[in-house]
């Protein structure tokens, strides 16, 4: 089996590489460390690429840019894959405002290149597109909320499970990142529905794990752990630190892709997050870090919130679980944070 992974040095991409390499697949990775361009040296994924190359058996890295249509088409024509895991993206809604053209080229045009290359050279391949919950813009903020001691919470019983795939994606404030990812999301749906390709769209909540190169502008939980371990100050932007996110570990994301690949539903859209059980506010995540480790946070609360930011976002996972009942989330939030602390401490010792 041949598997092609974009963003192969990133969090989800590297997890995909390790998973399918361990199964004996030939894994093609596409990554050019654009994360360093977006976020500087702290965001670079080179360290993760080096780990992949030392730990895998059948992984081949290609230093390619998904914006380069000719190179992408050439690679597909020579090595057509049976499975495509498309994770490459400009991932920050804050950064997108500084680089709107680059953001759109990567998230929308790059996705178009990947879809069209698959249609031309590997039309029977399964294509898993990593989208984002930011396609909903700030529409989730219209759900009635109540303020509790450490978090915002949904006020109505019918909203208990969170935001479903029926939430609208237009007539809402997205951020430019959300808009470019929405363009890629709709393109992926269309290639599935119009051409009948085996494309699945996964709208991620907070995706995280020990391989995340978190920075202030992207990778909330990873960056929170980083500043805790290194004793750096942390600024909480808006909502009293009570804004809620649901966290899902990268290995559980990969298992969801694997379930879809085994029984693809062309053009289908799924939320993919930690759900109610792995939801926590910023304040609650800080409490977990301080409870399970010796590290103490130095926090500053800012009244300014990020444009288009969600106040309370929990992924309603019932649709995916109904279509793929064999999938379940294996890693709980506290275990996830503990593993990330151990990795960050290890990196600190080795640096």
CA distance 22 to 36: 28
| pLDDT tens digit sequence for 32-69 | 998 888 888 878 889 899 999 999 999 999 999 999 99
Is residue 130 helix, strand or coil? strand
| pLDDT tens digit sequence for 8-18 | 999 999 999 99
Confidence band of 121 (pLDDT split at 50, 70, 90): very high
| pLDDT tens digit sequence for 318-331 | 999 999 999 999 99
Q: What stretch of H or E contains 26?
A: strand 26-30
Whether residue 61 contacts residue 48, with contact meaning beta carbons closer than 8 Å, is answered with: no
CA distances from 85 to 28, 88, 240 (A): 10, 9, 37
Task: Report pLDDT for 218.
Answer: 63
**Other CB atoms closer than 10 Å to residue 259's CB: what's the count?**
17
| pLDDT tens digit sequence for 129-174 | 999 999 999 999 999 999 999 999 999 999 999 999 999 999 999 9
13 DSSP assignment: H
CA distance 86 to 110: 10
Confidence band of 292 (pLDDT split at 50, 70, 90): very high
Domain assignments of the chain as residue spans, ordered by start? 2-350
> What number does CATH give the domain 2-350?
3.40.50.720
Is residue 237 helix, strand or coil? strand
Task: Report pLDDT for 307.
Answer: 76
Bridge partners of 126, per DSSP, are 83, 198
Q: What are phi and psi of 27, to 5 degrees?
A: -110, 120
Distance of CA 13 to the CA centre of its chain: 10
Task: Report pLDDT for 94.
Answer: 84
Task: Report pLDDT for 217.
Answer: 58
pTM value? 0.94
């Amino acid at each position: 089996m041949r598997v092609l992974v974009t963003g192969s040095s990133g969090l989800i991409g590297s997890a995909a590489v390790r998973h399918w390499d361990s199964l004996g697949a030939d894994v093609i990775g596409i990554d050019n460390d654009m994360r360093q361009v977006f976020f500087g040296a702290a965001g670079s994924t080179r360290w993760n690429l080096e780990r992949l190359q030392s730990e895998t058996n059948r992984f081949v890295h290609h230093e390619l840019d998904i914006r380069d249509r000719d190179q992408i088409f050439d690679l597909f024509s020579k090595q057509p894959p049976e499975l495509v895991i498309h994770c490459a993206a400009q991932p920050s809604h804050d950064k997108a405002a500084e680089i709107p053209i680059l953001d759109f080229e990567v998230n929308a045009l790059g996705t178009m290149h990947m879809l069209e290359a698959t249609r031309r050279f590997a039309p029977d391949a399964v294509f898993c597109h990593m989208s984002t919950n930011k396609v909903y813009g700030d529409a989730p903020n219209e759900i009635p909320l109540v303020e509790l001691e450490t978090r915002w919470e949904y006020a109505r019983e019918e909203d208990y499970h969170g935001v479903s795939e029926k939430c609208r994606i237009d007539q809402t404030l997205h951020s430019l990142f959300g808009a470019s990812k929405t363009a890629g999301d709709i393109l992926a749906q269309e290639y599935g529905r119009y051409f009948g390709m085996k494309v699945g769209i996964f709208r991620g909540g907070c995706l995280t794990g020990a391989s995340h190169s978190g920075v202030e502008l992207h990778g909330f939980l990873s960056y929170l752990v980083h500043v805790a371990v290194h004793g750096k100050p942390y600024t909480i932007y808006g909502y009293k630190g009570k804004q809620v996110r649901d966290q899902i570990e990268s290995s559980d994301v990969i298992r969801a892709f694997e379930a879809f690949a085994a029984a693809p539903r062309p053009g289908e859209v799924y939320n993919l997050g930690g759900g109610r059980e792995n939801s926590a506010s910023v304040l609650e995540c800080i409490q977990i870090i301080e409870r399970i480790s010796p590290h103490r946070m130095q926090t500053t609360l800012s009244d300014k919130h990020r444009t288009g930011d969600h106040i309370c976002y929990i992924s309603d996972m019932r649709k995916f679980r109904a279509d793929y009942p064999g999938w379940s989330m294996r890693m709980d939030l506290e275990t996830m944070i503990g593993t990330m602390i151990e990795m960050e401490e290890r990196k600190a010792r080795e640096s």
